[in-house]
Every structure is written in structure tokens, then in C-alpha cells.
Structure 1
Amino acid sequence: MNSTVGASAQYAPSVLPAQTAPVASSAPKVNIPSDAEVVAKVASTEIKSSGVNEAAQPTRIAVEKAAKELESFVQSMGRNLNISVDGNTGYHVVTVTNPETGEVIRQMPSPELLKIAQSLPKYDGLFLSRKA
């Protein structure tokens, strides 16, 4: 009989005493600033220059140097290399030509791809469904 009482006591839910008084919080109260205080603080904050142009300058110099090294390497192989920016699309265009004949050996991106890229703004939104 003892074993039955022990087993039932083992599975009985524990009962906590009911609290009659509210529990006092020991955490200090946090003073939340008003919207006006936040706006005033943001408005008085000094905005410093990001320095993006200064940071990008060494990268531009490195790219120009790499381009010149590529051009001299390709010229040593009997070819001319021209790196430019397409005015209509903003794409970088690399053209390899034969210096004796002026024939374009390779252009990346191809002239066809540049034409497609130039015509894309005409079709802006055409392939999108406007239904909600």
C-alpha cells in the first residue's frame, strides 16, 4: 500500500500558493525620451563627410594601373586593347583589335548585347503584371 501512495504522489501536479499582494519590481524605472526630445537630438547631431570619394580614389588608381598593364601585355602579343565605357548603357567595353588592319578581333560585351541593353528601358514594366 505504501508503494501506491508513493506512485500517485510522484505524478500529482504541484500546487503553488496564491499570491494576494502585487510583487514589487526591483528593476529601476527607465526614462523613455519623448518624440520631441529624440527629434531635437537628431536635428542637433553634426553630419560628417563620408569620405567615399577619397576612399574610392586609390581603387580608381589601381584599376587604371591594371588596365595599362593589360594593354601593354596585349600589345606585346601584337594586338591593341581598348577599355572604354559605353555612353548609353554605362557598361565597360573591352575591345581587342589588330593594330595593322584595325579589325576588331573581340569585343566584350558584344555589339548585339549593347544594343539589347540600350533598348531595355523602352520595355520597362512590360513584362510585369500590374494586377494585384
Structure 2
Amino acid sequence: MLSELTGGNSAPVPTPTPVRNKPAAPAAAAAPPTPEDAPKVQAPKPVDIKVDTQALKEKLMESIQHLNQAMRDGGRNLNFHMDDAVGAPVVTVKNADTGEVVRQLPNEVVVRIAHNIEEFKGLLHNKLS
């Protein structure tokens, strides 16, 4: 059967010789690292990032006013305004004839929920204090 596996060649298969590990070097030969040999690591320099949120808010309000003016000049009846409870601009589309709100983004329900959450924050904070 072995001759069938080797393809009919009856030459003996060499047996592998075990590999012997060399003995480890004695622990006393390795010198412990000293503080001078340790790599030099420096702490990163602190970065002071200053953001003027008041200036950003003023710029956003100015952009919203400019956008509203452009919509009026273009004959569109779109109105953009900033809602503090939502924390983002709110877009309303009104019927030019009746003044009725046709569409609002985000939806009126989302705006009401945001206002209710703001009111709940105040109630919860006051009760816990």
C-alpha cells in the first residue's frame, strides 16, 4: 500500500529528525533597562480651540435673513426662521393668498415635541434641585 502512495517507487521515505531547542541564555547575562535607556516620550501640547458661538449664531441669523429676502425677491413664499428649542432652522411654506402653512420642515409635531422636551427639562431640573 505504501508503494501505491509513493507512485510505485519503492525508495524508503526518510524520517524527519527532531529539532532540539538550544538552551536559553542565562537571565543574569541580560542587563535590566535603565531609565536612561528608556525611550523619550513627551506629552502632546495642549491645543486651545476657541469657538465664538455668539458670532456663529449671529452669522446664522444673518444668513437666514438673507435667504428669506432672496425667497421674497424670487416670488417664492418660503420662510426660514431659527427655533431655539429645535436648535436648527425651521422652513415653512405658506400659501401666498391665505397665509396658511402648506408645509413645514421639520414637521409641526417635531417642533412641539422639542418645545415639550425643553419644558420638561426645566421641570425636572427644578424638582431635583
How does the TM-score come out when normalised to structure 2?
A: 0.48
